Amino acid sequence: MDRPLDELSGGQRQRAWIALVLAQDTPCLLLDEPTTWLDLSHQIEVLGLLRERNRRHDATVITVLHDLNLAARFSDHLVLLGPAGLVSTGSPQEVLTESNLKEAFGLSALVMPDPVTGAPMAVPR
C-alpha cells in the first residue's frame, strides 16, 4: 500500500491494476491479458473475480487470453482468431475443437472435458 507502483513485482503490479479497474465498478470491462505476470493461483483468482463481476453485477467482461484452457474454463463465449482472421465464435464447446485449433495455430491437440468444470480442455499432442 505504501510502495510506489514501479517498485512492485510484475505480478503485484498487475494485481494492483486489476484492483483499480474493478474498483471503478463499470458495466463493461475490456482487459488485454489480465493474467500476465501472475502465478497460476492468482490467475485463477483474477479470472474468478471477473466471472463473479459478470454474474453478480451483470457486467460485460471482454478479455484477451492466450491460455485456451483458462479461456474455456472461465468464459461463456469465445472468439478464436488465426493468421487469416476469425476462425470460430461461440460457446467454448463450439470453438475449442481439434479442427479449429489446427486451423488457428497449426496445432495437433486432443480436446477433452476439463475434469473439474467439464469445459473443453486442449492437450497438445
Per-residue pLDDT tens for 33-64?
Answer: 999 889 999 999 999 999 999 999 999 999 99
Give buried/exposed letters for 86-110 (b at 16+ CB in 10 A, else e): ebbeeebeebbbeebbebbbeeebe
pLDDT at residue 121, as a whole number: 98
pLDDT confidence of residue 90: 98
What is the CA 46 to chain-centroid distance, rounded? 9
Give residue 112's pLDDT. 98
Cβ(43)–Cβ(20) under 8 Å?
A: no
pLDDT digits (tens, 9 = 90+) for 68-95: 999 999 999 999 999 999 999 999 999 9
Q: Where are the alpha helices (DSSP H) in the chain?
A: 10-23, 40-57, 68-74, 92-95, 98-105
| Res 1 pLDDT > 80 | no
Residue 46 has what DSSP assignment? Answer: H
Task: Return the C-alpha cell found at 10.
Answer: 510484475
The rounded distance, in Å, linking the Cα atoms of 20 and 106 is: 38
Q: What is the pLDDT of residue 6?
A: 83
| Contact present, 78 and 101 (Cβ < 8 Å) | no
Read off the pLDDT of residues 12-25 as tens digits, 9 standing for 90 and up.
888 888 988 999 99
Cell numbers found for residue 101? 485449433
Q: What is the pLDDT of residue 5?
A: 80
Other residues' Cβ atoms within 10 Å of the Cβ of residue 42? 16
Between 53 and 4, the higher pLDDT residue: 53
pLDDT of residue 52: 95
